[in-house]
């Protein structure tokens, strides 16, 4: 059994693309986690498995590095779209792709498909759609306790759940400290992604992210959309902002119906052929 994967990154958020049409191994929680392991595997922030080809659509499955399934990933969707163009699955400038977190529409902005605009769906602040425990309400500026500290939290779904905390200063150690508690907090029955956000001006914000099932990441597409949506909802920015992250920046736009659009770049790194020994180890997991 021969296995090949492709490595890409979006703003330092790196993914492996596993094409089931070219490989025989069936991915599961254990072997996906092994592939993502940075010491004993290839190392990755996740795996993009697909395309799964239906009669009128293509879809993908997104694996977190702990082997759990993610509903949606902004960087992952852009990377997968670049792969589809590289591999010849897509020739059109625009098309729709099915994710577990809903339908996304992708538009290539240059010839090689490295710069893309993605329609990420509709933002929702409603507790039952994020989800957040308690009565149905929009979860905006609610006091929540993470690790014995009280924070003003706004929660939003971008097809996956996020809690966003505006702060005067942000850092990697701080988001890791908060995220270690917030990811598994009692408020969030399906766990949650956490962004701490600093508003620079009406058109720029900065974020640091702790992802559910992945931990600290240098950049996040859905997190950028979530934070931009929260900043706009709270009246801190306009509806079009540049989101700065340690890995780079994304442009995020929000329309009058709270549909969110993300524009950014991705980079192709390598095609990797796994050894027979490692392939066998994955097969028996």
Is 200 part of any known ligand binding site?
no
> Which of the 8 DSSP states describes residue 25?
P
**Is 221 annotated for ligand binding?**
yes
Does residue 193 have a known ligand-binding role? yes
Rounded CA gap, 229 and 210, in Å? 18
What the block records as the tokens of 249 is 């920046």
222 is in an annotated binding site: yes
Q: Is 75 annotated as a binding residue?
A: yes
Hey, what long-range contacts does 208-212 have (CB within 8 A, 24 or more apart)?
A: 208/170, 208/171, 208/172, 208/174, 208/175, 208/245, 208/246, 209/175, 209/245, 210/175, 210/176, 210/178, 210/179, 210/180, 210/182, 210/183, 211/45, 211/64, 212/64, 212/68, 212/70, 212/160, 212/161, 212/183
Q: Is 13 annotated as a binding residue?
A: yes
Phi, psi of 280 (to 5 degrees): -65, -40
Rounded-to-integer distance, Cα 15 and Cα 5, Å: 10
* Residue 239 marked in a binding site: no
For residues 86-105, one letter each, b for 16 or more C-beta atoms within 10 angstroms of the residue's C-beta and e for the rest, the string is beebbeeeebebbbebeebe
101 is in an annotated binding site: no
- Per the annotation, does 31 bind a ligand? no
State yes or no: 257 annotated in a binding site.
no
Q: Which residues are annotated as a binding site for substrate?
A: 13, 64, 74-75, 160, 193, 211-212, 221-222
Q: Which residues are annotated as a binding site?
A: 13, 64, 74-75, 160, 193, 211-212, 221-222
């Amino acid at each position: 059994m021969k296995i090949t994967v492709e490595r890409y990154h979006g703003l330092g958020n790196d993914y492996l693309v596993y094409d089931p049409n070219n490989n025989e191994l069936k991915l599961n929680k254990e072997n996906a986690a092994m592939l993502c392991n940075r010491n004993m595997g290839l190392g990755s922030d996740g795996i993009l498995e697909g395309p799964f080809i239906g009669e009128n659509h293509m879809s993908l499955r997104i694996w977190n590095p702990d082997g759990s399934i993610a509903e949606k990933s902004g960087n992952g969707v852009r990377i997968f779209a670049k792969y589809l163009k590289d591999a010849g699955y897509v020739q059109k400038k625009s098309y729709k792709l099915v994710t577990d977190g809903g339908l996304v529409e992708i538009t290539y902005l240059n010839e090689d498909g490295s710069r893309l605009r993605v329609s990420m769906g509709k933002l929702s602040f409603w507790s039952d759609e994020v989800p957040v425990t308690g009565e149905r309400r929009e979860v905006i500026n609610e006091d929540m306790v993470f690790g014995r500290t009280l924070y003003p939290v706004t929660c939003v779904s971008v097809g996956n759940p996020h809690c966003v905390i505006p702060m005067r200063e942000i850092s990697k150690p701080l988001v890791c400290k908060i995220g270690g508690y917030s990811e598994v907090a009692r408020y969030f029955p399906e766990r949650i992604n956490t962004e701490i956000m600093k508003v620079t001006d009406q058109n720029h914000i900065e974020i640091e992210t702790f992802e559910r099932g992945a931990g600290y990441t240098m950049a996040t597409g859905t997190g950028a959309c979530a934070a931009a949506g929260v900043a706009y909802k709270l009246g801190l920015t306009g509806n079009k902002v540049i989101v700065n992250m340690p890995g780079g920046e994304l442009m995020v736009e929000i329309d009058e119906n709270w549909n969110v659009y993300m524009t950014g770049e991705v980079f192709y790194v390598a095609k990797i052929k796994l050894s027979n020994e490692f392939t066998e180890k994955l097969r028996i997991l």
